[in-house]
Amino acid sequence: MLLGWRVKSSDVKARLDVADDAAKREQRLAAKLRENLKRRKEQARTRAAGTGKSLPETEADSTADGAALKPLGDSDS
């Protein structure tokens, strides 16, 4: 006997949604971490080989507004 204690189905659904969101976030972060590790390993291999070729720029390497970095002497003003 439950002694009048019941859980609303909406509460259960909300908890499941939160758990599902957390699991999805964890999967996304794990995938990003694997991608980053792969990229870093490739960079290390390239440096160790001494080929001197640069790897393509990724979104993470660009500035927040997407503009390329300029030398201090080049100003547009």
In this prediction, residues 68-75 reach a mean pLDDT of 60
Pair of tokens at residue 10: 């909406």
Binned at pLDDT 50, 70 and 90, residue 1 comes out as very low
Burial category of 46 from C-beta neighbours within 10 Å (exposed 0-12, middle 13-18, buried 19 and up): middle
**SS3 category, 38:** helix
Binned at pLDDT 50, 70 and 90, residue 25 comes out as very high
Q: What is the rounded average pLDDT for all residues in the chain?
A: 76
Burial category of 39 from C-beta neighbours within 10 Å (exposed 0-12, middle 13-18, buried 19 and up): middle
pLDDT at 23: 93
Cα distances (Å, whole numbers) of residue 33 to 5, 7, 49: 44, 38, 24
